[in-house]
Amino acid sequence: MDRMAAMETYVSVVEAGSFSAAAKRLKLGQPAVSKSIAQLETRLGVRLLLRSTRGLTPTDAGQRFYEHARRAIEEVEFAEQAVRETSAALSGTLRVSAAVTFARLHILPALKIFLQRHPRLQIDIVLDDRTIDLLEHGVDVALRMGSLDDSAMTARRISRSRRVVVGTPAYFSGAGLPKSPADLSQHQAIVYSLRGGGESWSFSQDGKEVAVVVSGRVSVSAAEGMRTAVLGDMGIAIASEWMFSPELGNGTVKEVLSDWELPSIDLWAVFPAGRLVSAKARAFVAFVEEILSSASAKNAAGPSETELAD
């Protein structure tokens, strides 16, 4: 008995709900499907399916076997796909998840270069500041910042950014420049309320740590809202350099307390659990690493086509 063929037949029967429907899906005769399942049950020494007038229902053992068999088939399919991809140009659709502001500032401006390198590839970018279920949304790779709550995820850290305290010159001209972290309590803070933000921050300098709680009249749940509020002279923000890289470069916003350190923030490439990483996902992650490493620490606004072409 061909084990893989038997597993594929069994999985088709469970998903189709009957021998006849599975036979049509597999383009086999119904007797051949029935015989394959009977041989499988004999080899395993356990009943996999309960037959009734309402159809077929997996037993407890049958349900466990179905789940393992389905994963085994997927692994073989992905292994075959990986081999095909290594011997051919990248093609098909790559679905990427990324935070709105990070993608707008750093990924989308450089995306043309990636597409020119892979002319047979299409890319679908899901922009969302929230953490979404990768399998549910069919995502091949997600770019996520901060700590990862789910240790079962397949992830690789690809970059790191400083956090900085920023505000516009117009805001500081009215509110004054903070001289120490403690002075931030006297300033209006634009508080980012999602993961990685908040009101409590720990600054360090020469081995000394200072805990600070900031507050303000504006709290936002999206990075775009924080940027708009800061650029509108409404207050200060504690954010990654990535979030304000264009403005830090051209002087639209000013970094203060640069002699103090805040916890850095990591950028991770996260892949669906239990899936082999495709060649196109690996190529995209390498491209993101490239554009971030080529950016200036102070004034990067995403790479230019000339810089990457060289």
pLDDT digits (tens, 9 = 90+) for 64-85: 998 888 888 877 776 666 666 5
- pTM (two decimals): 0.65
Burial 80-110 (b: 16+ CB within 10 A, else e): eeeeebeeeebeeebbbbbbebbbbbbbebb
The token pair at 86 is 């290594």
Spatial neighbors of 81 by CB under 8 A, at least 6 apart, are 276, 278
CATH number at 92-158+266-309: 3.40.190.10
CA 52/CA 74 separation, integer angstroms: 29
* pLDDT over 60 (residue 86): no
How do the domains of the chain map onto residue ranges? 3-86, 92-158+266-309, 163-263
Of 73-77, 232-236, 295-299, the range with the lowest mean pLDDT is 295-299
CA 87/CA 279 separation, integer angstroms: 10
Cα-trace Rg, the chain: 27
CATH number at 163-263: 3.40.190.10
Q: What is the mean pLDDT of the chain?
A: 85
Q: Are 259 and 211 in contact (CB under 8 A)?
A: no
Pick the CATH number of 3-86 from 1.10.3720.10, 1.10.10.10, 3.40.1190.20, 3.10.20.600: 1.10.10.10
pLDDT digits (tens, 9 = 90+) for 165-184: 999 999 999 999 999 999 99
Task: Report pLDDT for 131.
Answer: 81
What is the percentage of the chain residues whose pLDDT exceeds 70? 87
Same fold, 3-86 and 163-263: no
Q: Is the torsion defined by CA of 25, 28, 31, 35 positive or negative?
A: negative
How big is the CA angle at 127 (ends 97 and 166), to the nearest 5 degrees?
A: 105
CA 25/CA 136 separation, integer angstroms: 24
Tokens 């076997």, located at residue: 65
Distances (CA, A) of 251 to 8, 65, 122, 187, 189: 61, 61, 36, 20, 20
* pLDDT over 80 (residue 310): no
CA 23/CA 37 separation, integer angstroms: 12
272 closest CA partner among 157, 70, 136, 159: 136
